[in-house]
Structure 1
Amino acid sequence: MGQQEQVATSLAGTVGAEIGASLTAVDAELARRYPGDPGTRRPVHTVYVPADAFEAGTVRSWGDRALAALDEHAPDAAAFAEILSVPPELAEDVHGRVRAKLEREPVEDLRIDFEDGYGLRPDAEEDEAAARAARLVAEAYADGTAAPYTGIRMKCMEAAVRDRGIRTTDVFLTGLMRAGGLPDGLVLTLPKVTYPEQVTAFVRLLEAFETAHGLPDGRIGFEIQIETSQSILASDGTAAVARMIDAARGRATGLHYGTFDYSACVGVSPAYQASDHPAADHAKAVMQVAAAGTGVRVCDGSTNVLPVGPPEQVHDAWRLHYRLTRRALARAYYQGWDMHPGHLPTRYAAVYTFYREGLPQAASRLAAYVAKAGGDVMDEPATAKALSGYLLRGIDCGALDTEEVARLTGLTRADLDGFASPRRGGLTVTAP
């Protein structure tokens, strides 16, 4: 034991209290605007199906068609790995997990599309389709065949289609209420948002619905789809998307990038419209910064290159989709759109390879941090939070197993939850 130090201070005790009082409003504002990640499961993709094509067996049909494509164009693990350049040591594991996922839960997030994929229809026809969608969704949740997350993309708040979008939302949500209530996995997507006032209008719509049915305030959240340049940069030069998040008043759950509408809006030629175009990277970077800390998640767009036709054409489309998905994951866009059943094998292959490749290092770094054991990387609390989030996302999608993560880190699922999100209760870990 060394010499005990004498502790002396110079400031009056009231100084700290005065400073605290002066920052009370800032503290409240930080807590309101930046609550952190919600701590809920995050789907790896969103599948869009036109409302007139949606059936009771849509989720299972997509899985079966994806399995058929895998069997036809990559009949074994070695072939699949060679096509996609999956590391040989991961080939069997990734292939097996992909097949199991397609058999068990082929779609994580399903959006029944009443917008571009559906188009303009007579009112009576769209009314019928919206009521039918509500019935089928309710039945799917009741019998356990629904995707974990399911909902609709209605028409936008622009004048030409506003009334139709409002009515479809009302018909769909009312149908769910009549069938027993809103499912926990309900997701709504508001497309082509250009001004924050359109978000405010949608919030007003949802508030009115909640009031009409005696639902808790804020029960219904929604995603904001970013498809116009004005949603990124407003006329005054500010980031409009940040104001949109604020306008949602805590209801925004995601920002979804619309690859082709946004690309066309800024003048990108069709041959170059893709999620890795510089214009796309800029838009998503702004979205990412605006959403950071708010609990709103950023979702990448889609590719319109479909894996159909002869084997060589399918393989080329698979390689493109795999590359774009891996690129997005590296940039922290952990969700993207899938437009065809043939995209599912490469979606899961890319996601699973991403998490399987990174598991050893992520687990060892987190274990070293918890044990205060040091190592060749000095991590901080923010990195421990990111490492835990990485492992949790891998577990939730089926890339990693809870048991193997626990074995490698010495942490339970509850421990990981505590590290990853303050909304999950926090965690204090001391060295053994």
Structure 2
Amino acid sequence: MASDIPTGSSDLATELDTRLAEADARLDREYPGDRGGRQPVHSVYVPADRVGPGLAADWGARSLAALDEFAPRAADLAEATGLGRAAVEEALSRVRDKLVREPIEDLRADFEDGYGAPGDEAEDRDVLTVARAFAADLAKGEATPYFGIRMKGMEAAGRHRGVRTLDLFLRTLLAEHGSLPDNLVLTLPKITSVEQVEAMVWLSERLERRLGLPDGRLRFELQIETPQSILLPDGTVAVARMIQAGRGRVTALHYGTYDYSAACGITAAHQSLAHAVADHAKSVMQVAAAGTGVWLSDGGSNILPTGTPAEVHAAWRLHAGLVRRSLERGFYQGWDLHPHQLPIRYLATYAFYREAFAPAAARLQAYLGQAGGNVMDEPATAQALASVLARGLRCGALEETEVVDACGTDAAGIEALATRRVGQEKQ
């Protein structure tokens, strides 16, 4: 009855709008939600002095050759990786096609730990070579979906060299290509203070002005590989403050497995992205990044699949398990360091999404009211269901036709539901 409606409630709500206006604006600014788009399933780190035009195609050919040599049949690959024969048989043709068509999704020329300090003359020469190689691949339509560099960071010992490398790289790429590609990625390593992220913002602003780039054009990833990038001396979470210090420029957080483990006192034999110290750091990263639109990447395995067939198979089994473990924990990207790791990256990734597909599609169809079911999902869960389908579509594990048939909505509908800000819709 109308008489039961409290009088004056509208005025109270209006006053609350005023009272919470600043908090509402801050939430919209600091937690914009999933930015959508295709996140690469991996980053491939290659020492800068080994980067040249056509690198991705070469790695693809080498990875296919490794499959033919060490696991010529699906049964061999299933036994080697422990992924299960049915999963391997379903995904293998997609993997082989991927290794021909697009073997690397995100290529990073490494001027940091994987490169060393050969001196200014040698590094300048390699910077020019890398920038020209990227430009050549762009001109031929052979560039990887994402690419860029990891320069030396803001710590005192490498600061000057890192700035010089970044400046020279950007200038050369601009000169060779005429513009900065949208898929360019820059990685800031060895972060030990919030001030270093603020300094990277300052440097980006100055370089944009000098190079005639639009404001905000230069964005960067934060490599989380020091205890100081997880926890500050006063006990506050450093990485959360670093994201905000980036002022919208931070695109991703990448976990640095071995530096972080070593800094925490873990001996080399036990350093792994599956160690407890790694899980703690990544859990902190995950909470800090939630809702911000900042992507997460796990590290990688330094046990390379080379040597005898038994050694290759052991490395493949380890890699497959680690990729699966990361995916189950919500880290949809990792690192690869060798061509022989690529088949297993894609095989484990595709198997994960293929396995998730049928139950997620059925539950989403029920949520959308197009089928019955015995699970009552909330909007947040529906978003998670759509998200796994969207990620599977983006990486090529799923086809749009099968998703439409299974849940009754197309890729655009899946994408919209996956990126919706649950709980913050206008009433």
Q: TM-score range by the shorter chain?
A: over 0.9
SS at match of 1:345: helix
CA offset digits 1:375-409 (Å, max 9, x no partner): 12211111121111111111111111111111111
Match of 2:296 in 1: 298
Structure 1 length-normalised TM: 0.95
- 1:157 and 1:198 in contact (8 A); partners too: yes
Match of 1:225 in 2: 223
Match of 1:28 in 2: 25
**Shift in Å at residue 215 of structure 1?**
2.2
Distance 1:247 1:11, change over 3 A: same
Matches within 5 A, 1:342-381: 342-371=340-369, 373-381=371-379
Question: What is the identity percentage for the equivalent residue pairs of Structure 1 and Structure 2?
Answer: 55
Distance 1:88 1:376, change over 3 A: farther
**Shift in Å at residue 365 of structure 1?**
0.9
Note the residue ranges of structure 1 that are not aligned, 5 or more in a row. Answer: none
Match of 2:213 in 1: 215
- 1:138 and 1:183 in contact (8 A); partners too: no
SS at match of 1:302: coil
Match of 1:195 in 2: 193
**Shift in Å at residue 93 of structure 1?**
1.9
CA offset digits 1:26-47 (Å, max 9, x no partner): 0110011100111110100000
Structure 1 residues 253-262 or 139-148, which shifts more?
Answer: 139-148
- Is structure 2 residue 329 aligned with structure 1 residue 331? yes
- 2:221 and 2:251 in contact (8 A); partners too: yes
* Equivalent AA in structure 2 for residue 306 of structure 1: L
Structure 1 residues 343-352 or 88-97, which shifts more?
Answer: 88-97
* Equivalent AA in structure 2 for residue 149 of structure 1: Y
- 1:150 and 1:187 in contact (8 A); partners too: yes
- Is structure 2 residue 157 aligned with structure 1 residue 163? no
- 1:80 and 1:95 in contact (8 A); partners too: no
CA offset digits 1:165-207 (Å, max 9, x no partner): 0110011111122121111110000001110110111111111
- Is structure 2 residue 260 aligned with structure 1 residue 262? yes
Q: In the aligned structure 2, how far is the partner of 1:394 from the partner of 1:235?
A: 40
Q: In the aligned structure 2, how far is the partner of 1:354 from the partner of 1:196?
A: 36
* Equivalent AA in structure 1 for residue 396 of structure 2: G
Match of 1:406 in 2: 404
* Equivalent AA in structure 2 for residue 301 of structure 1: G
Matches within 5 A, 1:2-401: 8-179=5-176, 180-371=178-369, 373-401=371-399
Structure 2 length-normalised TM: 0.96
Q: In the aligned structure 1, how far is the partner of 2:12 from the partner of 2:262?
A: 56
Structure 1 residues 189-198 or 130-139, which shifts more?
Answer: 130-139
- 1:228 and 1:261 in contact (8 A); partners too: yes
Distance 1:12 1:92, change over 3 A: closer
Q: Count residues in correspondence.
A: 423
- 2:153 and 2:191 in contact (8 A); partners too: yes
- Is structure 2 residue 413 aligned with structure 1 residue 415? yes
Note the residue ranges of structure 2 that are not aligned, 5 or more in a row. Answer: none
- 1:415 and 1:427 in contact (8 A); partners too: no
Q: In the aligned structure 1, how far is the partner of 2:59 from the partner of 2:237?
A: 38
- 2:150 and 2:187 in contact (8 A); partners too: yes
Q: In the aligned structure 1, how far is the partner of 2:370 from the partner of 2:54?
A: 51
Distance 1:87 1:7, change over 3 A: farther
- 1:419 and 1:427 in contact (8 A); partners too: no
Structure 1 residues 85-94 or 239-248, which shifts more?
Answer: 85-94
**Shift in Å at residue 261 of structure 1?**
0.3
- 2:383 and 2:420 in contact (8 A); partners too: no
Q: In the aligned structure 2, how far is the partner of 1:329 from the partner of 1:285?
A: 13
Q: In the aligned structure 2, how far is the partner of 1:146 from the partner of 1:393?
A: 22
Distance 1:329 1:12, change over 3 A: closer
- 1:98 and 1:348 in contact (8 A); partners too: yes
**Shift in Å at residue 372 of structure 1?**
6.3
CA offset digits 1:228-257 (Å, max 9, x no partner): 111111111111111110110011111100
SS at match of 2:332: coil
**Shift in Å at residue 348 of structure 1?**
0.7
Q: In the aligned structure 1, how far is the partner of 2:188 from the partner of 2:411?
A: 33
CA offset digits 1:92-115 (Å, max 9, x no partner): 221111111111110000000000
* Equivalent AA in structure 2 for residue 377 of structure 1: V
- 2:254 and 2:297 in contact (8 A); partners too: yes
Q: In the aligned structure 1, how far is the partner of 2:293 from the partner of 2:9?
A: 39
Runs of 4+ in 1 over 3 A off after TM superposition: 4-7
**Shift in Å at residue 214 of structure 1?**
3.0
